Structure 1
Amino acid sequence: MTENATKPTVLFVCVHNAGRSQMAAGYLRHLAGDRIDVLSAGSQPADQVNPVAVAAMAEDGIDIASQEPKLLADAAVRRADVVVTMGCGDECPFYPGRRYEDWVLDDPAGLDIDAVRPIRDEIRARVRILVDELG
């Protein structure tokens, strides 16, 4: 693990930090509690979290309404043990010693709740696997 040797840090990155990465961060906070530090960011952050993503997560009992999209910074990548990208292409800096995963998921931007639910469910399944792997 990097600077914080007591627990791993996971960084979720997507372009706008408004949908996929926010849902993944919400699930990781919910499922791992304080065992894993959670960060999320975007290469081109939106003004607000996607309201349909907020609604989809609320259906599963997780509140991400207070989250705000953040700009991806080198410091966040350096702090992370695991960097999960979701459609940000080559815009995410690469540092040796980090575990990188690229989750290919549809972007929920502009979709209705019925189309966002399967994306949410896939994110939940992948986050559960990640929690199990990180202990």
Structure 2
Amino acid sequence: MITQAEAGAALGQQVNPPVMGKAYVEGGVACVFYGPNAPTQIGPDIPVGDTVRVVLVTGTKAKKYFDDYRGKVNAEPISGLGDEAYYDGYASISVLKGDAYVRIAVGVANNLPAEKMLAADALPRM
């Protein structure tokens, strides 16, 4: 969905190649890029700072997971990204485009601008 260079630009530093982890909210796979200061000993299944975490769900379950997560957080609608998009209020941005749902979390302070940038990068690939 996003490249290593795009993940690094979002974090403002170089990142390591992605590692696959579990996406507990969506029940699938998370692609995690670690920055140089990320605590890698925790493992890719747990979201931590200094990382970029991307989860993609496609097919019939995409809308279900998008709506389900929206109902669990204080979702703030975002216009101009995909068919629907929202910020969860603290950690990630969720975008639905057709039958594809991507959730992106950038582990830095003031993460929303970086997450919007990555979502815009990912949209043409969805």
TM bin (shorter chain): under 0.3
Name the one with the larger helix percent: 1
Name the one with the larger strand percent: 2
Q: TM-score, normalised by structure 1?
A: 0.25
